[in-house]
Chains A and B, each alone.
Chain A
Amino acid sequence: MSVLVVVECDGGEVKKSSLEVASYGSQVAQMLGTTATAVAVGEATEANLAKLGEQGISKVLYDAEPRLKDFVNGAYTKLIAAAAQKEESKVIVLANSNIGASVGSRLSMRLQASLATNVVELPKTDGGSFVVKRGAFSGKAFADVKLDGERKIIAVKKNSIEALHEAGKTAQVESFSAQLSDADFADAPKQVIMQDQAGGILLPEADKVVSGGRGMKGPENWHLIEELAKALGAATACSKPVSDVDWRPHHEHVGQTGITVSPNLYIACGISGAIQHLAGVNSSKVIVVINKDPEAPFFKAADYGIVGDVFDVLPKLTQAVKELN
């Protein structure tokens, strides 16, 4: 009766958000007096999967079928359902990622489970039911959701749970086959196109983000954002008008109609802080705003601020980070 954790892997590595999910799952297992088993999806190495022991996972099921390297909704759903059946899991934990939410919603129907997405805290147990806190109203509120029924699926929001690190502990990696057929791959991608990531850091996974708005004046000035991001080990992002006029690619646009991020640090440069922008970033732990207009609404949502010109302030920040390192 273990808790089942879905870990997403990419290029052999376990994604950072999945390390958080594994930590979440093993803590839930502890609460329930049981163990946590992971099922791996994507391209993984056995060595990296074994390291999930550090996050409290005791066993990892891995199906080495090569077509599972890329996300396939039908096949992933079947694989995870089979793992849940093998482990007799009543609780499944996955990432609130595009993969996790896609599979989680199908699984909830297949396994007759109650589902909560966007979850930001460990559950409180109340008899057989769980109460979990989730983000709602585009980051403007939280909802405590009661999950009833025998089976529960929880999708954990990125950067909301600290990953455990118990150095030296290893998980046992077991090969596992869900007996997938060609039909399970009917929605397999014809092509997968990865974007160029500034400094190799994925925006949705990043724990630091440096973001620029219309106040940056033009794409020729973006090196100022990139230099600070590189010094900090941060991903870069932008406001919607910036991607609308193609100064930056769409996949960097954060906000209500773009990507939602919840990093530990969000630095907004020359962004006014319109409500639609805030909707995508307001659950960041620490928000820094640099804007020459002291009345910019973003200052109300900020923890730290500098009233000043980005062209003057950004090089100073980059310099200060370099000195610190």
Chain B
Amino acid sequence: MKFLVCISNVPDTTTKITFTPDNKEFNKAGVQFVINPWDEYALTRAIELKEAQGGGTVTVLNVGEADTEPNIRKALAIGADDAIRVNAHPKDAFFVAQQIASIAKDGGYDAILMGKESIDYNGFQVHGMVGELLGIPTVAPAMKLDMSGNTATLEREIEGGKEIVEVNTPFVASCQQPMCEPRIPNMRGIMTARTKPLKVVEPTADAARTEVAEYALPPKKQGVKLIPAESAGELIKLLRNEAKVI
């Protein structure tokens, strides 16, 4: 089984978000970047399935500039076999999807796995675009993934429930919890990661379709209005008469 796992490089969850003075770019200064938390489910599950089958490969793919390599190495340390970096600034979901599809097209991968969305851009788009470009099914978001021969069984979250879906390989799945318990690298993994192959390729020349004109922070909260616990019922009146939400 050959897995292609797409990872993105995102600001650590606890990062305080600020922008460049013109509000056009995220301000990276002093920010710790991590593997997108949702992608960790895709990566770990691919490694688990490979181990369970006693064979196969897990290739990690990132569309990003050279500064993403520490996190690609981290994915290798967690257990991926090799990695590809498409050397480009990920302009938008469409751009990224095209790069992924162009790598996947001739790669013979049985499954292309990725996280549900990235925690910075929150697009939840790339999976479907890749599936459509390759003309293969997409299952998004997937909470469970098992494989037997060339059939994959997935649990797909729908509003208020789930669907059990069976698809044949190759397919694309965007993953979320509770698919598995994401792994962290151990010492041996970190040592071997250094020698695993990381191939850098140039992007296909396609353009983006969207552009961020401006970022903005939400308006500051007025500050909390505290109601004494003894007169808790007052809160309900405020929610009706002042906030008008009940």
Contacts and interface: CB of A to CB of B under 8 A. Distances in A.
Given A104-B125, A257-B37, A114 B210 contact: yes
Instruction: Report whether over half of chain B's contact residues are helix, strand or loop; otherwise say mixed.
Output: mixed
B160 A202 contact: yes
Interface string B200-228: 00000000011111111110011011111
B65 interface: no
Interface stretch (A51-59, A163-171, A186-194, A215-223): A186-194
Interface string B83-117: 00000000001100100000000000000000000
Given A114-B94, A114-B209, A189 B156 contact: yes
Interface in A281-325: 282-283, 285-286, 288-289, 299-309, 312-313, 316-317, 319-321, 323-324
A208 B236 CA distance: 13
Interface in B102-139: 119-129, 131-133, 137-139
Given A138-B122, A264-B245, A105 B128 contact: yes
A77 B214 CA distance: 31
Contact of B229 (A145, A149, A197, A307): A307
Contact of B120 (A71, A98, A105, A137): A137
A303 B238 CA distance: 11
Contact of B125 (A108, A192, A299, A319): A108
Interface residues of B, number: 76
Contact of A279 (B13, B133, B139, B178): B13
B176 A204 contact: no
A207 to B, nearest CB: 8
Given A105-B126, A149-B209, A257 B176 contact: yes
A32 interface: no
A117 B224 contact: no
Contacts of B178: 250
Contacts of B233: 316-317, 319-320, 323
A137 B17 contact: yes
A265 B213 contact: no
Contacts of A303: 221-222, 224-225, 243
A189 B164 contact: yes
Contact of A73 (B137, B213, B238): B137
B195 interface: no
A208 B11 CA distance: 31
A146 interface: yes
Which 8 interchain pairs have the tightest Cβ spacing?
A105-B128, A308-B229, A320-B233, A189-B163, A109-B132, A194-B161, A320-B236, A114-B209
20 contacts: A73-B138, A101-B125, A102-B127, A106-B129, A108-B129, A136-B122, A138-B122, A144-B214, A149-B209, A191-B163, A192-B161, A192-B164, A197-B160, A204-B159, A208-B246, A275-B13, A286-B243, A303-B222, A304-B227, A304-B235
Given A142-B215, A194-B161, A323-B233, 16 more contacts: A97-B159, A102-B127, A102-B128, A105-B128, A114-B94, A136-B122, A138-B13, A140-B218, A148-B209, A189-B156, A203-B160, A257-B37, A276-B13, A306-B228, A319-B233, A321-B236
Interface of B: 11, 13-14, 17, 19, 26, 37-38, 93-94, 97, 119-129, 131-133, 137-141, 156-168, 176-178, 209-218, 221-222, 224-229, 232-240, 243, 245-246
